[in-house]
Chains A and B, each alone.
Chain A
Amino acid sequence: MTPAGSLLSAHGLRKAYGPTTALDGAEFSIHPGEVVAVMGPSGSGKSTLLHCLAGIVRPDAGEISYNGQELTGMTDTALSALRRSEFGFVFQFGQLVPELTCVENVALPLRLNGARRKDAERTALTWLERLEVDDVRGKRPGEVSGGQGQRVAVARALATSPRVVFADEPTGALDSLNGERVMELLTDAARSANAAVVLVTHETRVAAYSDREIVVRDGRSRDMERAV
């Protein structure tokens, strides 16, 4: 059952890690250009929901439909290819390759998609400029501040022009000012590209950048728009 016009939707997701149940019948749907915040207390299954939606983790049961394709039936190779070309990712930390310079980090997903190094780095540079961090292009992640690093990560997530960006606590390691700037840049860029953003966060001020929110509690999701 796919809600009309949705880009990515999930129905009846279940996932358990050993004895712990992370998802217990979760639902989700998002439209192109929409920013949806996934909220809920720690350990409620927010991140697992994101991982399932992104095809990183296979759910034990349930359906995930992206653009008319059923994700749960796809091979690992196909899922990887999908993630490379259609999805973008921003995590809280530990995602930039420490040996590569910032511009090389941003170019990495493009190159994984088969782009030539020069072209990939040119595109990467324009994204660094958009996220106002082109001055650190030649530096390594260890040499830049947390805020700059996270902007580089956002640039990397957007560089492949993904249709869905998955952001898991993207501002978790940042102060308010940097966090807000990162959210502004992320949501602006995504909206202008008509990309959907799945934003996992526990901060309401961050969630306020979304169009609507769903709450995950004890593995079950609740769409607050339809609940009210």
Chain B
Amino acid sequence: MSMTPTRSGPSADPARQAAPASPDRPAGPTGARAWARDLAMGLRFAVGGGREGWIRTILTAVGVGLGVALLLGAASVPELMHHRDARSTARTPLGEMSGEKVERSDSTVLIVNAGTDFRDSEISGRVVRADGGHPVLPPGLDALPGPGELVVSPALRELMDSSDGKLLKERFSQYRLTGTIGDAGLMRPNELFYYLGSDTLTKSDGAYRTGAFGYKVTEDPLDPLLVVLVVLICVVLLTPVLIFIGTAVRFGGERRDQRLAALRLVGADRRAVRRIAAGEALCGALLGLVAGAGFFLAARQLLGVVDIWQVNAFPSDMVPLPGLAALILLAVPVSSVLVTLVSLRAVAIEPLGVVRSASPRGRRLWWRLLLPVTGLLILLGQDRIGSSATSDDVHVYTIAVGATLALVGLATLLPWLVEAAVRRLRGGPVPWQLATRRLQMNSGTAARAVSGITVAVAGAVALQMLFASMHDDFNTTTDQDPHRAQLSVYSPKGSGPLAQRMIDDFRATKGVEGVIGTVSAYVVKPGKLGKGDDIRPTTELSVGTCATLRELAHVGRCEDGDTFIVHADDQEQNAWVDRTARPGKRIDLNYDSWGDSTTKGHGAHAPWTLPKSTRVVQARPDPVGDRYNGILATPGAVDVDRMADAQTRAMVQIDPGVTDAEEYVRNTAARMDPLVRVNTIRMIERDKQYASIQRGLQAGAMATMTLIAASMLVSMLEQLRERKRLLAALTAFGTRRTSMAWSVLWQTAIPVALGLALAVAGGLALGAVMCRMVNKSVTDWLVFLPLTAAGAALVALVTLLSLPPLWRMMRPDGLRTE
């Protein structure tokens, strides 16, 4: 952090000049004893300084406490991840991923993942069926739910019991609610999860057999790019917190300097005064640690109850790493003392007051530029990372160091920028003049407060640019057409009757306007494989009414008994279809009954002849956006019961005027079979994680800004209090309140605007360099706009909150001589 003195003596070093006048008393205590004595005195001043002393100490403690709480939260993230991982492992059934075969026994369980959506909530679940009398249990369950029994998480139970959850409750109404999942079986307190018992579940439903829970899914090593991102996010969010703690330690600094000057008058030497100041800072920092621990514990409990930015965790999972916690406990008080001592170096506290210089030494640019430029050069020096890069190819730490240098460098560049910019400001209306002159006198305080914003916003801009450039990877346009149908329903089990029932039931559901339903299966060309064929010619056969078929292809004239060969755009695919679909020739409806070159077929053949009259028609995109390629048949042409391993698919059109129409459809589907999947047809599929990272980033940047706003407000109030008499005098000669309000506004707005400008410039540069590094081109140069708006809001907030005290200070009481 820059520590160029903002105030210094009128000559080179007044403190040194004054030294002969205040020699250390030889008789006084020295060394450790002097330290102990003066620190104790400082502590006493901090708590015993009357109302004002208390307020200052509390402000510091709260400020430091907020920072410490955030740091403790960050230090808990590794443990949190670890615990979540353990929770996930504990309930993952062995056999799901490992693929090994589990023999049926008294303790094995058939299990399949299920789930449903309810409005905006995603509900996960599992359908289970015990093979014997002593089934293994996933964590959090006392007993496996029997057939028709339902066990839910507390949050799901709450949702079902709430007035909003009536439809959800109805969806599960055919099951008996027999229990609640314990905390051990959940990832987070608010998770919506259920176990449903079944006596009909078979492997043909997609279920598999397990003999134990507790399977560790071997995860892919973290994408190196993601590591860089995580490091950057930490830098972006934690640097402002550190800067904020540094600012909080200085709350009330000018008052304290005056008090210290009074101590000098009664004989304290310069060193003693510094030690006393250190003691005061130490007291604030220690109380801040206590407050921070309190805030952290409170926030931890809160996270156990509510979702904050979709973060929700068991309080017992939020444990700071002991090493990091110890580091925080040690570093905060030590650095508070250091910050105090360093800030005092720039001030000469003399017995008759604090010596401030009228013309502070200008800040130098070159070393301030060194940091960000070095950072950018390091990043530019990196090889481009392709999509196939492994962690070995990426110098994660070098990149992290480069990015960190660039970001922190912006914070060191800011004081120079503010000073240089403000120095050139002249004239303007009176409020503007007052504000700029004030900043010209002492821009350090403002610049320090704003530097936190700069780092946070620059980092957020860079990261968002990076995300935006990867936008296409995360957001896919689905080609789905939500105008033709809004829901697609899919069941792995397929049969003609089921499809018909589905269509009938959905049609009867409230809010449904139309249903397009088909039964599909793979069909093959029977007989010997052709020369050079490894794979037996295969195509899809879908059966549906003429109305349904019209949604899938331009079938033209159609009546029951008709069949069609559907071609799409891809000629190669069309040729492949034609190898199986030959009008007048045989086709086998049981795909499995004929083998390939390497496998043997099993099961009975189900031969069927494609009618000679079959026409070739062109496909039409269905509401989900797929173009069908294969054979279409009306129910009269083929007996769907002969189609083995068929799947049922339906697309449902709902009436947008009926609220919760989607939920009624889901309820109908659930009544048919809990394993039926209902998906919403959307234009754009947005990657959920991408969205949450972007949201988290913005939320973090906003939180940082709020923190900075708090410290700006405190220093503004402090400054107003110090100028009580001046404000009263200005009132006396008729200064308008609005003039003073504007000057307060400008005084906040100018540094924030400069900080944001620097942040945007720096963030865009860093973002561009990082996009180049990951071989993406910048797609969105305007990601900074919402953050700039937030900056403006912050300025308005600080000004607004400063106004009541400003009005109070402008009362003529300030003129009364004591």
Binds B, one of A6-14, A108-116, A178-186, A191-199: A108-116
B732: contacting residue among A81, A83, A117, CB under 8 A = A83
Segment touching A, from B38-46, B238-246, B624-632, B723-731: B723-731
How far is the CB of B438 from the nearest CB of chain A, in Å?
A: 5
Q: Which residue of B lies closest to A58 (CB)?
A: B812
Q: Cβ of B440 < 8 Å from any Cβ of A? A: yes
- Do B726 and A94 touch across chains, with their CB atoms under 8 A apart? yes
Contact of A83 among B358, B725, B733, B816 (CB under 8 A): B733
- Considering only residues 704-734 of chain B, those with a C-beta below 8 Å from chain A are 725-726, 729-734
Q: Which of B726, B736, B815, B816 contacts A97 (CB 8 A)?
A: B726
**In the complex, what distance in Å separates the CA atom of A87 from the CA atom of B72?**
59
Enumerate A81-103 residues with CB–CB distance to B below 8 Å. 81-85, 87-89, 91-100
Query: In this assembly, does A212 line the interface, its C-beta being within 8 Å of a C-beta of chain B?
Result: no
Residue pair B736, A99 in contact (C-beta under 8 Å): no
- Given A56-B812, A94-B729, A143:B434 Cβ within 8 A: no
A117–B438 contact, CB under 8 A?
Answer: no
A-B contact count (CB 8 A): 86
Task: Find B430's partner among A51, A91, A92, A111 (CB 8 Å cutoff).
Answer: A111
For A81, give its contact among B725, B729, B734 (CB under 8 Å).
B734
The 3 closest A-B pairs by CB, nearest first: A84-B734, A83-B734, A99-B437
Shortest beta-carbon distance, B348 to chain A, in Å? 14
A80 adjacent to B734 (CB under 8 Å): yes
In angstroms, how far is the closest chain B Cβ from the Cβ of A3? 25
Task: Report which residue of B358, B812, B815, B816 has the largest number of chain A beta carbons within 10 angstroms of its beta carbon.
Answer: B815
Return chain B residues, CB-CB under 8 Å to A89.
729, 732-733
Q: How far is the CA of A112 from the CA of B729 in the complex (A)?
A: 14
The answer on a CB contact under 8 Å between A94 and B734 is: no
B437 and A100 contact, CB distance less than 8 A: yes
Residues of A within 8 A of B732 (CB): 51, 54, 56, 83, 89, 91, 166
Nearest residue, chain B, Cβ from A95: B729
Residues of A within 8 A of B (CB): 47-48, 51, 54, 56-57, 77, 80-85, 87-89, 91-100, 104, 108-109, 111-112, 117, 139-140, 142-143, 156-157, 166, 168-169
Question: Among residues 401 to 435 in chain B, which have CB atoms less than 8 Å away from a CB atom of chain A?
Answer: 427, 429-430, 433-434
Complex partner residue of A51 from B434, B739, B815, CB under 8 angstroms: B815
Q: Is A109's CB under 8 angstroms from B734's CB?
A: yes
Within 8 A of A (CB), among B802-818: 812, 815-817
Taking a contact as CB atoms under 8 Å apart, the answer to whether B438 and A99 are in contact is yes
Bound together, the chains give a CA A80 to CA B732 distance in angstroms of 8
* Interface, chain B (partner A; CB < 8 A): 356, 358, 427, 429-430, 433-434, 437-438, 440-441, 725-726, 729-736, 739, 812, 815-817
Q: Let me know if A47 and B733 touch, CB within 8 A.
A: no
Interface pairs (6), CB distance under 8 Å? A85-B734, A95-B726, A99-B434, A100-B434, A112-B734, A139-B358
Contacts of B440 in A (CB 8 A): 99
A112 adjacent to B736 (CB under 8 Å): yes
Q: Chain A's nearest CB lies how many Å from the CB of B528?
A: 98
Complex CA distance for A97 and B435, rounded to whole angstroms: 11
Chain A neighbourhood of B815, CB < 8 A: 47, 51, 56, 91, 168
Inside 8 A of B725's CB, which chain A residues have their CB? 93-95
| A108 contact set on B, CB distance < 8 A | 430
Docked CA distance A166–B815 (Å): 13
Chain B residues with CB below 8 A from A95, complex form: 725-726, 729
Bound together, the chains give a CA A84 to CA B356 distance in angstroms of 32
- Bound CA span A1–B211, Å: 106
User: B734 near A104 (CB under 8 angstroms)?
Assistant: no
Given A56-B812, A89-B733, A47 contacting B817 (CB threshold 8 A): yes
